[in-house]
Amino acid sequence: MQSDSNFVFVLFGGTGDLSMRKILPALFEAHRAGMLNPAGRIVCVAREAWDQGAYRRWVEEHVKPHVSKDGLDDAVWRSFLERMQYVGLDLGRAEDFVLLRDTLAQYDGTRVFYLATGPKLFVPICRALSDVGLNQNARIVLEKPLGYDLKSSNAINDAVGEIFQEEQIYRIDHYLGKEPVQNLLALRFSNVLFEPLWRREWVESIQITIAEELGVEARGDFYDNTGALRDMVQNHLLQLLSIVTMEPPHSMDSDSVRDEKLRVLRALKPIDERDISRVAVRGQYHAGVIRGAAVPAYATEPGVRPDSTTETFVALKVEIDNWRWAGVPFFLRTGKRLADRVAEIVVNFRTVPHSALGANALRAGANRLVIRLQPNESIRLYCLAKQPGEGMNLASVHLDLAFDQFFKEGQMEAYQRLLLDVIHGRLALFVRRDEQEAAWRWVEPILNAWASGTSKPKPYAAGTWGPAASSAMLAQHGTCWLEEEN
């Protein structure tokens, strides 16, 4: 459906990896689907002194491989390139921002400034935009990580908040745009079947995993100063946790949804530094084999210090101190160079209190809901059923909602959904400042304890599921990670 919202989308970092792999492919898919106003324009900004032809050749080479080849039409691709204009810009030259302002003056519509840059450039860019009057009738999109800790995050938010109002600021977390996350909200709040079960009386534990096969690739310098806790837990995992556990909002407007997520983040049980070794596991990958190929140890990756103690793996036991979830353990896990690329939420329901059908009906995990976010997005409900034949023998069966099979229309990628939400001015799937502060405040004791140097990351071989201590932590609660059970 074509949008009536006219826009000018200004992409800082317009030659960078994120722009090439995610942002411009998402805008192309929206363009191909007819979801963008025909008058909307995309202005890409970077420091290279290129003309329009050089930039379009760069896009042809680096963006086209990341778009779907199904029905890819040369005329549609050319019409997408015609939306684009390139502006070479030196952040240190005020006159370059005057040139940008004059370029944007040619176009009508809401201005969207997407900062696909490092966080140290957020404030200088925002101030330069303000100096030439480009902070009015505008929206600003900030990529993570937003800061290094609570103090630095607040410093960035304070500075950006002096230039843009909170309702103009879109802090993006692409996991919130994934189809199964949206369907989780629909599943919980539109079906009377699930709501009575979504509480401590019926849920035994919940696991949230974001696992990657890749290492740090070309991001060694960045990652070695960041680590998995800052890169994944403080944002993606805590946001998913808040979506899974929040109370029903009175509506789906932006502040109603974000108010409920904030209540969850504020209800996270604080972690005492003395307990961190019991509820938090950090690891670092060593050399190993993934899908038959040898991969190097983290400490030998380009840009990584040989004596680095940066964690590439984190597993946490989390508790929520509120009426609905008190006493339920939540296990969060993320890591690089793991055995598989998978992101999923696993809701383990309690066993029946008594079974007339034998001990098999009392086994853990008999009833569970598995929400797969990647690579194949789906929702699967497991239950027990009688096997055909003589006797009352039970087997695990599942009911599937496989989106690609049930819905014939193509799925919308996370970045595509979120970019359209920015253009339309919808804030519900973006992180509000008070949410971000609550998340940083909760992780800080872990950051401080690990920074003290009293312990080092536990080693794990690339191609495995992380340190054994991660499994041991769950075993203390009589459970295990999903792949260990299977």
pLDDT value of position 37:
94
Is 90 assigned to a binding site?
A: yes
* pLDDT higher than threshold 90 for residue 52: yes
User: 458 lies in a domain?
Assistant: yes
The pTM (predicted TM-score) of the whole model is 0.92
Is 91 assigned to a binding site?
A: yes
Domain boundary among 85, 118, 143: 143
* pLDDT higher than threshold 90 for residue 464: yes
Domain boundary among 143, 162, 188: 143
What's the mean pLDDT when you consider all of the chain? Answer: 91
Is 66 assigned to a binding site?
A: no
**183 and 291 co-located in one domain:** yes
Phi, psi for residue 120 in degrees, rounded to 5: -70, -15
**373 and 451 co-located in one domain:** yes
- CATH number reported for the structural domain that contains residue 131 in this entry: 3.40.50.720
**135 and 213 co-located in one domain:** no
User: 1 lies in a domain?
Assistant: no
**What is the rounded average pLDDT of the residues 138-160?**
93
Instruction: Give the domain range for residue 361.
Output: 176-245+264-410+439-485
**292 and 403 co-located in one domain:** yes
**For residue range 363-393, what is the model confidence (pLDDT) as tens digits?**
666 889 999 988 888 888 888 887 787 777 7
Return the half-sphere exposure (C-beta side, CA atoms, 13 A cut-off) of residue 238: 30
pLDDT value of position 125:
96
The residue from 31, 62, 66, 236 that is catalytic is: 236
Is 336 assigned to a binding site?
A: yes
End-to-end Cα separation, the chain, in angstroms: 43
CA-based torsion, 274, 316, 335, 363: positive or negative: positive
Rounded Cα distance between 455 and 283, Å, is 11
* Coil/strand/helix, residue 201: coil
**377 and 464 co-located in one domain:** yes
User: 422 lies in a domain?
Assistant: no
**395 and 285 co-located in one domain:** yes
Count up the domains in the chain and report the number: 2
**136 and 183 co-located in one domain:** no
pLDDT value of position 166:
96
pLDDT value of position 145:
78
CA dihedral 6, 12, 17, 18 (to 10 degrees): -50
Give the contacts of 119 (CB within 8 A, at least 6 positions apart): 142, 143, 145, 146, 147, 156
One-letter amino acid for residue 398 of the chain: H
User: 69 lies in a domain?
Assistant: yes
**What is the rounded average pLDDT of the residues 247-270?**
94
Asked if 116 and 124 touch (Cβ cutoff 8 Å), the reply is no
**196 and 339 co-located in one domain:** yes
**213 and 127 co-located in one domain:** no
- CATH number reported for the structural domain that contains residue 268 in this entry: 3.30.360.10
**83 and 184 co-located in one domain:** no
Please say if 62 is a catalytic residue: no
User: 114 lies in a domain?
Assistant: yes
* pLDDT higher than threshold 80 for residue 139: yes
**185 and 130 co-located in one domain:** no
**For residue range 96-126, what is the model confidence (pLDDT) as tens digits?**
999 999 999 999 999 999 999 988 899 999 9
**For residue range 315-356, what is the model confidence (pLDDT) as tens digits?**
999 999 999 999 999 999 999 999 999 999 999 999 888 777
* pLDDT higher than threshold 80 for residue 147: yes
**For residue range 179-222, what is the model confidence (pLDDT) as tens digits?**
888 888 888 888 888 888 999 999 999 999 999 999 988 788 88
Is 73 assigned to a binding site?
A: no
pLDDT value of position 412:
83
* pLDDT higher than threshold 90 for residue 466: yes
DSSP E strand boundaries for 322-391: 330-335, 342-349, 368-374, 378-386
User: 255 lies in a domain?
Assistant: no
* pLDDT higher than threshold 70 for residue 154: yes
Is 22 assigned to a binding site?
A: no
Domain boundary among 100, 125, 143: 143
**120 and 63 co-located in one domain:** yes
User: 166 lies in a domain?
Assistant: no
Per cent of the chain over pLDDT 70 is: 95
Q: Report which of residues 81 and 188 the model is more confident about.
A: 81
User: 170 lies in a domain?
Assistant: no
One-letter amino acid for residue 456 of the chain: K
**For residue range 269-304, what is the model confidence (pLDDT) as tens digits?**
999 888 898 999 999 999 999 999 999 999 999 999
pLDDT value of position 1:
47
